[in-house]
Amino acid sequence: MASERIYLSVPHMGGDELSLIHDAFSSNWLSTVGPHIDAFETEMSAAIGGTRHALAVSSGTAALHLILRAIGVERGDHVAVSTLTFAGSVFPILYQGAIPVLIDSESASGNIDPALVRQYLADAARRGALPKALIAVHLYGQHAEMDSIATACAEYGVPLVEDAAESLGATYKGRETGTTAPYALLSFNGNKIITTSGGGMVLVEDPVQLQRMKKWASQSREAAVEYLHVEPGYNYRMSNVLAGMGRGQLRVLRDRVNQRRAVFARYLTMLGDVPGLSFQSEASWGTHTRWLSVCYLDPMTTPVAPLDLIDALTAHNIEARPVWRPMHTQPLFHGAPVIGGDVAERLYRTGICLPSSSSLSSSDQDRVVSLILNTMADPAHRSR
């Protein structure tokens, strides 16, 4: 019998979700208004320290779109963003008709390089071409070095946005993710550390901004009995059913962080000494959630390339993925301004995301590890 498939990152329910969903059904709050939505927003805000207002929406991408519009990003503006990320960090820039400026990573965490940010902003200021916003993505569960980035942005008056889609549960110098810039977004997509099947959240410092975004997310209905509209809107609100699921998931967030960190720790123990294989380090400034466990293959030491290892794992019904393909190498963003790019390309060429689910059993992880050990010890093994 073929072995069961091991996925990269699967949903992991805590136990309360179904009764909260059931409550939405029994009370007939089944639309995009209802008590679970309000409670999910309040509880998330409290979970990250109570300094941010929260708006539950249909996806992380929708959250970022609302944020960029609230900042005032318009057609032809520049918006700077990490090049090493998922496309959802960049698409909303296009929705506003703006131009992404794709900034390279620092090599330790893969996050946006603060030195390059400063250099780029100084140069853009000289040219009179400052971006309308800068989006720092916290990659794979680890925070970017926000203080240096925030200082540079403040100096040049550039609004800073945290893309915390992958980092819920992480900390930066004792602060929770989503609270180190005036604007942040979360994702509850099915592959994330907690999920609402699909969903996202805006986190914002300014309650007035929150109210504007809330209106846009609800088809920009004016406060009038008749259907009155004076500006365009979107149908972006989260459903009360899914917000119930989110509340249940939030109750187990700390467990999920610990479980993902334990998965990473086992990989490190069992594979840390393999020549040519290294693991993404944890920066000194905070807690990495290890949303995904990422390792790198050194082409100078091993003939096994990431795609070989991914093929070997796929052949044994195990899902693994390359590190995000940098946005500046995507056909869609051909011609967009790029600042650096070599580091992100190297991380992409050498990196692999390993199965990282919080529910990954030790025996399944052993299967992954022994496949990797076999492939690394005998590169020809991959084609068998």
Ligand X SMILES: Cc1ncc(COP(=O)(O)O)c(C=O)c1O
234 binds ligand X (CB under 6 A): no
* Stretch 114-143: interaction string toward ligand X, x if CB under 6 A: -----------------------x------
CA distance 354 to 274: 15
Residue 353 contacts by C-beta under 8 Å, 6 or more apart in sequence? Answer: 8, 140, 292, 293, 294, 320, 321, 322, 323
Near ligand X by CB under 6 A, which window of 55-63, 266-274, 300-308, 333-341?
55-63
Distances (CA, A) of 122 to 125, 156, 157: 5, 8, 12
SS3 for 54-95, per residue? EEEECCHHHHHHHHHHHHCCCCCCEEEEECCCCHHHCHHHHH
Minimum CB separation from ligand X for residue 320, in Å? 17
Binding mask 199-228 for ligand X (x = CB under 6 A): -x----------------------------
Nearer to ligand X, 194 or 318 (CB): 194
| Interacting span for ligand X (CB under 6 A) from 58-66, 247-255, 315-323, 338-346 | 58-66
Q: What is the DSSP letter of 239?
A: P
Q: Are 262 and 236 in contact (CB under 8 A)?
A: no
Q: Decide if 16 contacts 251 (C-beta within 8 A).
A: yes
CB of 180 to ligand X, least distance (A): 15
> Contact between 246 and ligand X (CB under 6 A)?
no
Minimum distance from CB of 151 to ligand X (Å)?
Answer: 23
Specify whether the CB–CB gap between 201 and 55 falls below 8 A.
Answer: yes
**Subset of 79-108 contacting ligand X (CB under 6 A):** 85-86, 88-89
Distances (CA, A) of 124 to 2, 182, 361: 56, 22, 50
Contact between 350 and ligand X per CB under 6 A? no
Using CA atoms, how far apart are residues 6 and 359, in angstroms rounded to an integer? 11
Supply the minimum distance, in Å, between the C-beta of residue 2 and ligand X.
29
Q: In whole angstroms, what is the distance from residue 257 CA to residue 191 CA?
A: 14
The distance of closest approach from Cβ of residue 283 to ligand X in the complex, given in angstroms and rounded to an integer, is 17
| Shortest distance, position 222 Cβ to ligand X, whole Å | 28
Residue 189 Cβ, how far from ligand X at the closest point, in Å?
Answer: 4
Among 9, 45, 59, 195, binds ligand X (CB under 6 A): 59
CA distance 297 to 233: 46
- How would you class 47 by CB atoms within 10 Å of its CB: exposed for 0-12, middle for 13-18, buried for 19 or more? middle
Contact with ligand X (CB under 6 A): which of 187, 259, 289, 357? Answer: 187
Q: Which of 60, 159, 340, 341 binds ligand X (CB under 6 A)?
A: 60
CB of 331 to ligand X, least distance (A): 20
- Which residues of the chain form contacts with ligand X (CB under 6 A)? 59-61, 85-86, 88-89, 137, 163, 165-166, 187, 189, 200
